[in-house]
A and B are shown apart, each in its own frame.
Chain A
Amino acid sequence: MHELGIVFYIIRDVKEAAQANGVGHVDAVVMDIGEVSTIIPDYLQDCWRWAADKEDMLRGCELKINTINAVTRCGDCGAEYGTVEHGKTCPVCQSANTWLIRGNEVEIKEIQVNDNN
């Protein structure tokens, strides 16, 4: 449900970056989205289409999503394991002293523009 709010943030940042680079129209925005970021890619796409098409600079602009796998590290045995599979408990030593090292990203990686515009 927070995807729409996130889309407004993306639009603001992309417009700022485009203006700073003298770009008139953006053709694609590439996002890095972590597996456990709580963003649902399908919802993000739907909200993006609805909101982006209301902006001249972003009409028809594609949203490309790279999914970043979530990895957790164990502070006791040093193991690194898949967060989605095992959660907060280390599958090697059963410790709960673990922390997420990636998978929480909601980042704008880059924007792509047609060089002729």
Chain B
Amino acid sequence: MDKVKVIEIKKSVFADNDEDAARLRSELKRRGVYLLNLMSSPGSGKTTTLIQTLKRLEGRLRVSVMEADIDSDVDAIKIQEATGVPSIQLHTGGMCHLDAEMTRQGLDNVALSDSDLVILENVGNLVCPAEFDTGAVRNAMILSVPEGHDKPLKYPLMFSVCDLVLVNKTDVMPYFDFDMDKCREYVHMRNPKAVIIPICAKTGEGIDAFADWLVQEVKNWKQQ
């Protein structure tokens, strides 16, 4: 009978990505660039929120955008046309998330010396992107009112890795059974430190607060 030799490995599958991400973060730190990883489910209003926010950041921060999708370039074109902010489109080729290596490849095509802030719009998905550290300084996510206030209970990892939760589409609150207090309670169960900002990309509610948060974050990152 053939003898079987066992080679012990005992290594987390995520270990290499975590190291890559930490390396990328320290490179960005050295160059004074702040990377925000923005996540959400499809249709929560990421692109519309970005367009509104970018308009309010004009003259305050130099921003670049990386749009990640499985396919198409509609988002990058939409952002660039609406705001004039340089935007590139990343295709994940069927993958449901970005990892640190893919993020690095994307950043190679961004003018980092002309950027204070790079916003990475991750693939619309509440599960997989939360597993992979992209090398971003902070994780943010958008939860929209029609999705329901129970999402932090159903997608615990996403809410525990996010430093900022934007609750979007507040203008439709009267038509949905969305309980903002419950939403806050559930988000804080997952991450007691998460900042929550109710916004409406359509009416502009809360967008100034989000823009101010970004300006402060970038300032802290450059000073630290």
Contacts and interface: CB of A to CB of B under 8 A. Distances in A.
Interface string A96-112: 10000000011111111
Contacts of A23: 7
A38 B5 CA distance: 31
Interface size class of B (residues with CB under 8 A): 20 to 34
A73 interface: no
B10 interface: yes
Contact of A109 (B2, B9, B95, B127): B9
10 contacts: A1-B128, A9-B14, A13-B9, A17-B7, A21-B7, A38-B157, A110-B8, A112-B7, A114-B2, A116-B2
Nearest to A1: B96
Contacts of B13: 6, 9-10, 13, 106-108
Given A9-B16, A107-B12, A109-B9, A114 B127 contact: no
A108 B5 contact: no
Interface size class of A (residues with CB under 8 A): 20 to 34
Contacts of A115: 2-5
Interface in B1-54: 2-14, 16-17
Interface in B95-119: 95-97, 99
B91 to A, nearest CB: 14
Interface of A: 1-2, 4-6, 9-10, 12-14, 17-18, 21, 23, 27, 38, 88, 96, 105-116
B131 A112 contact: no
B8 A2 contact: no
Nearest to A2: B128
B189 interface: yes
A27 B125 CA distance: 35
B4 A27 contact: yes
Contacts of A105: 12
A69 B99 CA distance: 27
Contact of B6 (A9, A12, A106, A110): A110
Interface in B41-90: none
A2 B5 contact: no
A2 B131 contact: yes
A12 B16 contact: yes
